Chains A and B, each alone.
Chain A
Amino acid sequence: MAQTAEPPQELHFVQYNHSLEAQYLPAIRALISKDLSEPYSIYVYRYFLCQWAHLCFMALSPVDGSLVGVIICKLEVHAVHSTPTRRGYIAMLATASPYRGRGVATALVKMAIDAMAVRKADEIVLETEEDNLSAMRLYERLGFLRSKKLHRYYLNGNSAYRLVLLLRSVDPDSSPGLGEGAITE
């Protein structure tokens, strides 16, 4: 079993919804941009948050409700190669530095995986920087495998690994239906 310490009991984990935008979007952007060489525009966040609010979770401080961690995902039918699959994608994950090493990120990833599994995701994928060993350890402890290495994937010239978690066997003969498009319930 994952040997990560349980996240601090007192943290509140909240599913995002649009009514929280004014209160939390600036903090979400600030937390995520810290690790980015170039900030994403507000539309990148809204692209994810408005369509897949149910796949975005926040960890909040019980003291003042401030943002401690966040995960942002999407879930779509992916049909570029071969068999179409319902592919979940973890787009962004961040924990405020004072709270790192306490399992906050793991807890957020688990919530996202559970939410995507309920919505019948076949697989969940993400990319992580090749030298971000702690992120890779986190995902690999949960069951992700590195499927490929992506050369100079990031603007800073670093390469990435694509990590994949298979949630169900993908049968090439049964497809989830191409006409469905994005799942936006």
Chain B
Amino acid sequence: MADFGIGVPDELARLSLGNGAEQQASRAPDMNSAGIVAVDITDRFSLAVKTLEPGELVKDEFFTLFESVGALEIMDPKMDSGCIKPGDEFEELYDVRQPLLPEEVLGIIDQLICHEMSWHLGYPLSQTLFTSVYVEALSMPNPVGIEQAIFVRDPKDKSNDQPMLQVLRAYCLGLLKACGYVNERVRAEHSYEEEDFVTNTYNRTLLANVPTDAIRAAITEAKGLLQKLRSDSGHSYRAEVIDALEVRLELRDIFLQATECPQYIKEPNLAQIPWQQGISLLPALKSTHHLCKPVDDSFSAKLQRKLASTIPPRPIVQLGFDDAFENLTRLFQDGLEIIGVLQYTDTQCLQACVSALQSKKPQPLVYVRTLLQTFLFDAMEVLGSMSIRQLIDDDLSIITLPASPLLDRANDEIEVVHDPRFIVSQQMEFFRQRAAQPFLDILRTLCQNRCRVRRTLCHTVRAWDNLQVDAEEVDQVVQAQLKESPLSHMFLDATQHADSLPLSLSSWAYFYKLRQMEWIVQLGFELEVYQGDELAGMYWYLNYLAKCRLRHLERIKSFTVRRAEEIRALKTHENVYAGLQTRQLERSLSFVRLSLLDAAATWELSDALSCLYTVLGRLGLVKPPGRPYSNDEFRYELRMKPFASIGLPELPSFEDFTAGTKQPGTSTDDILEYCERSLMGAKRAFETMTRLPPAESFSVGSHERWLGTAKNALKSCIAAGLVVKTIQVALRKREKADLKFKVEIPTPDKAYHDWWLIPKLTPLP
């Protein structure tokens, strides 16, 4: 999925990539060899340089933008982190031994929470947590055990014993260890370094060598200290501040447990506990924030000088506590929610669940998204217990192969090489191996940030195009075998004409390819990729794709229905699998019903919106910019680039696209009338969908979100209907003058639904 950049920001991002947890210090090469004769070239160099103009570039062909971006100008304070302003000190002089008030410890902790969340949001440790002198004191030199992880590295130094410093230390230990877990998780799964998250630790280990148990013990100990202080009257500490500190230590302990939740992948109820505990503790964190006394001095950008990095000094990221708290709350809520995917029902519910979670706004944080990937794919098993074969077979049995002999595990037992079942088993295994990657990639892709989802789909759709071709070959081999086999009676009708061949595997691949093509267009709306005057065309193309899906689903349905009839005919006789087969067929029929409804709704609503934007274009209410350097045909080529190489469905010609978008032969009144009818159709389809129970809408585990989305689509239909009415009324009343409206196309965050952008009309005086 590599996508090399071309601009300066791309290269800046690549600069800080190379890092390991612990890097070897570089050493000068050993020059004491008999074969090496050193020659001083200073004079020759000076002479040669004199022949150059100042600023002339001397470079070989390997000097790229990357190298030029990597160059630093020494003594420029903005680039050279070692450059010290006159009167300033190189070292940060803050003394970690100084006594702290409980309010100050609270202030430091809450600032650390802000920095921790900034890191989760994608900023590097160098500009967040690693600007804390306390974090630095615990991190360097790298402690090899808990006893070394103290602020003052002299165990005899009494300042370590101050209760408030012990509380702060316990908090920081829990914080750094949790960050270590988070970093490991993010590195292990697929995400985009720098754009999603920065895993660089600049030679710090995040306490990799300190055991978690020891850290949890230190937290418990510190909590004990606070309890002692609470009952001790020999100090002036306020009880509410002591309580607030305890809440924060408790949260650290819970977060550590939460980061270890993948070990309970087979026991979702246990995995959920720390996330639930965190959620119930969070209000107490927020309500005590006002007790803080900030200690700004204990954070310094100067600490960046100590980090193993060549990047220029960058400012400390400032995230407000309220923002940080909101993100922290989201982290716990989303963390809890994703554990829901472990309650597996079937592949379609799983996809719906992942998709619903990932389309949340704002999207779950990277850590949650990578945790979800761990649940989905850890150790080549899906959701901790299913093989990829189970997953693919389950999906095939829902979409195109219900109650099919192709998925019969007994085929694997046949050893006679000429037996058709042996060949079918072999072919199916070949197909699974071929399909596994693209199939799992759908889930993996959905776990990425939304921009990447769209970009990645533009690549995966081509992989599915190829898969479909390969699948068709397998289909034909399998078909030929089954014709001769004892299983052939199941397909007798189907083999009568080529047209009626089920081609189940390629049909499955085609279904997914169409879905992905629709997603690319729909995400284009969500990510505001299209300009106002492009909407008529993009909804027209979405309509084209939905139509293809609908027709394809009708084809799939006819085979499922026929299969159901065959099984029914067998039932009374000797079919021992009748119960299981009937259940599978019912599930497939439910799925095809849902998909037909969804495709029809998409067809009708995209048709209506394409018409609506065509009318707005005609009336001059949505105007295209001048575009002196472009023409319609080039822009069509550019827009359709992701789809141009796809064999089926064929890319509509530019002429068809233009005719479909402009509708030259149709009057505006007729278009609006047609638009109304389409909206009615879309509304009916969405209404029917919203009445489906979770099992029939394949949204077990995410039904509420699924229903919410369907209802929002329904609202979009109603809103679009009102706009059509407004235009119709205005057109009827209109004398010769133009319609006086201001048209606003809402951004997705202001629309009912990210994918259905309904224009807003405001009458002008």
Give the interface of A toward B (CB within 8 A): 1-3, 18, 21-22, 25, 37-44, 46-47, 50-51, 78, 80-82, 87, 89, 91-92, 110, 113, 125-127, 137, 140-155, 157, 159-161, 164-170, 172, 181
Known A-B contacts A127-B7, A170-B637, A181-B61; A46 and B68 likewise in contact (beta carbons under 8 Å): yes
Contact among B79, B314, B528, B627 with A143 in the assembled complex (CB-CB below 8 Å):
B627
CB-nearest residue of chain A to B73: A41
A residues near B638, Cβ cutoff 8 Å: 145, 147, 164, 166
CB-nearest residue of chain A to B639: A145
Q: Is B72 an interface residue (CB 8 A)?
A: yes
Q: Are B71 and A43 in contact (CB under 8 A)?
A: yes
Q: Distance (Å) between the CB of B517 and the closest chain A CB?
A: 16
CB-nearest residue of chain B to A127: B7
Known A38-B12, A143-B635, A166-B637; further 12 A-B contacts with Cβ < 8 A: A1-B628, A22-B55, A38-B314, A47-B65, A81-B3, A92-B8, A141-B626, A146-B529, A149-B528, A151-B449, A164-B638, A167-B634
Q: List 8 A-B contacts (CB under 8 A).
A: A46-B57, A50-B56, A127-B9, A140-B627, A142-B626, A143-B630, A147-B638, A150-B451
CB-nearest residue of chain B to A81: B3
When chains A and B are docked, how far (Å) is the Cα of A159 from the Cα of B452?
Answer: 12
Q: Is B285 an interface residue (CB 8 A)?
A: no
Q: Distance (Å) between the CB of A103 and the closest chain B CB?
A: 13
A residues near B451, Cβ cutoff 8 Å: 148-151, 159
Q: Distance (Å) between the CB of A167 and the closest chain B CB?
A: 7
CB-nearest residue of chain B to A125: B6
When chains A and B are docked, how far (Å) is the Cα of A141 from the Cα of B452?
Answer: 27
CB-nearest residue of chain B to A33: B78
When chains A and B are docked, how far (Å) is the Cα of A85 from the Cα of B7?
Answer: 16
B residues near A148, Cβ cutoff 8 Å: 451, 454-455, 529
B residues near A155, Cβ cutoff 8 Å: 9, 12, 314
Q: Is B196 an interface residue (CB 8 A)?
A: yes
When chains A and B are docked, how far (Å) is the Cα of A148 from the Cα of B642?
Answer: 11
Q: Are B629 and A153 in contact (CB under 8 A)?
A: no
Q: Distance (Å) between the CB of A160 and the closest chain B CB?
A: 8
Q: Are B12 and A166 in contact (CB under 8 A)?
A: no
Q: Distance (Å) between the CB of A34 and the closest chain B CB?
A: 13
Known A-B contacts A46-B57, A91-B7; A142 and B627 likewise in contact (beta carbons under 8 Å): yes
Q: Distance (Å) between the CB of B548 and the closest chain A CB?
A: 23
A residues near B630, Cβ cutoff 8 Å: 142-144, 165-166
Known A-B contacts A22-B54, A47-B65; A40 and B627 likewise in contact (beta carbons under 8 Å): no
When chains A and B are docked, how far (Å) is the Cα of A164 from the Cα of B464?
Answer: 26
B residues near A82, Cβ cutoff 8 Å: 645
B:419-458 near A, CB below 8 Å: 449-452, 454-455
Q: Are A80 and B4 in contact (CB under 8 A)?
A: yes
CB-nearest residue of chain B to A25: B55
When chains A and B are docked, how far (Å) is the Cα of A166 from the Cα of B636?
Answer: 10
Q: Distance (Å) between the CB of B70 and the closest chain A CB?
A: 8
